[in-house]
Chain A
């Protein structure tokens, strides 16, 4: 079974530029999560989708971050404009229903460096 695919693996941009990350969850997984993990910290939920609807985006900095999952499958996370403090690993995860009932599977992450 293919895992959660993310791209790119690494990205370096200058502050005030924009960047987009892509995630392809495991086939059939209705729930998709985007997490931000700053070095030395645990992952922080940015947004959770159930199919193509948003379940929780309370911690998403909506002035600069946006995410979509138009057909309930792939998802993109965008930052515009980026700030230095956005340097982190961005993790995508998916699960069949939600993590209450099943495991969450994580992608390899995208390491973003903003200079």
Chain B
């Protein structure tokens, strides 16, 4: 995903908050997504935000969207060991193609 960029690694202590950042390039993207990939598995949709929203909260997850800067972030509150995974940011393009970032590997340490 050259159009979607995100940092590759994040290490966080159990119980702390994790923040994963992403920048995208297509200002016409309608939806922006966060997918989670656990070891040996496919990607699974974690949450998404519509482009006319600034924020979306879903239990421990908070998505923030800055459309002006084309910046998306995912905050995980009270990070648990089960949150260790690769997190992908994705944007939907005009023809409903999904463009993914390279993924951020989140490691939760005790």
B is a partner of A: no
- Which residues of B does A touch, CB under 8 Å? none
- Which residues of A does B touch, CB under 8 Å? none
